[in-house]
Amino acid sequence: MSATSDAVAINGIRIELIERGAGRPLLFLHPATGIADDAPVLDALAKRARLMAPTHPGFGRSEAPKGFDSIDDLAYFYLDFLDSRGLDQVAVVGVSFGGWLAAEIAVKSTARISHLVLANPVGIKVGGREQRDIADIFAVTEDEYLALAYCDPKVGKRDYKAMPEAAVLAASRNREATARYAWSPYMHNPKLKGRLHRIRIPTLLLWGTSDRVLSESYGRAYCAAIPGARFQTIERAGHYPHEEQPQEFANKVLAFIGS
């Protein structure tokens, strides 16, 4: 297993950061469920890239800065992150909530970004006002949630009683942070869809086809709103394809960014 995460400070905000591998810089933005040090996708990506996988402010063991309560706060935080490290030609890869975050970063500035990969991203409103595009994960039981989010629910099942106390606390913080940023409007920014045209860099929409949190038509609408974006599917994966098919996920990302 690779080295565990370190704490770094950006603008005085302390976050956890996993850094691994060498080559092209790749910023991995985790979904609402966080990212574990030993997630197989991280090593798979780090084989052919300089991987940076931070834990967003408020999630896991990262500090929750006072006043941070919107996806904008996170997007500007990561623009500062890229600036402060002087990173250029970065591939930004985000899953679900992290995909939304990646899109919010890219509509603001792609000056330091070469490629964008959005995997089963939330973040936009596609349907009518009485249509719920994104399943309400706060209104279902844990088993119902796992059935919505995973091709194989066993992959997502956590045994909190067997986990170290600190890991349970981190999971508890993930749940709270998700609501802090995405409770209402639920999991989306009503302005984002109208801004996606600003993304003028190569963009890949990756889609775990067993996702029942989102529909594939939602993903295709997302893709259509970004000029020139490509759409690729991953079978036997749901809302978190990096978790259910880590190797295929990494292969597709690395091939797309030319690494």
Partner 1 sequence: MKVYQFTEQPYPEAWKDHSGSLRVNLPNRKCDPKLAADLFHRYYDEWMLADELGYDIMLNEHHQTATCMSSTVVVGLSVLARQTKKARLLVLGYPIGHRQDPLRVAEELSTIDVISRGRLDMGFIKGVPYEFAASNQNPVGVMERFWEAHDFIIKAMTSHDAPFNWESEHFHYRHVNIWPRPWQQPHPPVWSTTGSKSNARVLGERGYVMATLGTGYNTRALYDVYREGYMSKGRGAPPSDRFAYLGLVAVADNERDARERGEQVASYLRSSSIVHLPFRNPPGFLSVEDNARLMRGETPPRSYTKDRRVVDMRSGSVQELIDAGILFCGTPDQAYAQIVDFCEYCGGMGNLLMMGHAGSMTPADTVDNLTLFAREVMPRLKEYKQPVATATAA
Site residues for partner 1 per CB under 8 A:
67, 69, 138-141, 160-161, 165, 168-169, 171-173, 175-176, 178-180, 183-184
- Helices 165-182 & 97-108, crossing angle to 10 degrees? 50
Supply the minimum distance, in Å, between the C-beta of residue 176 and partner 1: 5
* Nearest residue (CB) to partner 1, 70 versus 251: 70
Could you tell me which of 217, 193, 197 has the C-alpha nearest to residue 207? 217
Supply the minimum distance, in Å, between the C-beta of residue 146 and partner 1: 13
User: Could you tell me how many residues make up the chain?
Assistant: 259
How many angstroms separate the CA atoms of 207 and 119, rounded? 6
* Nearest residue (CB) to partner 1, 127 versus 183: 183
* Nearest residue (CB) to partner 1, 131 versus 184: 184
* Nearest residue (CB) to partner 1, 145 versus 249: 145
* Nearest residue (CB) to partner 1, 23 versus 185: 185
106-145 burial code (b ≥16 CB/10 A, e <16): bbeebebbbbbbbbbbbbbbbeeeeeebbbebeeeeeeeb
Supply the minimum distance, in Å, between the C-beta of residue 3 and partner 1: 26
Supply the minimum distance, in Å, between the C-beta of residue 103 and partner 1: 22
Supply the minimum distance, in Å, between the C-beta of residue 197 and partner 1: 30
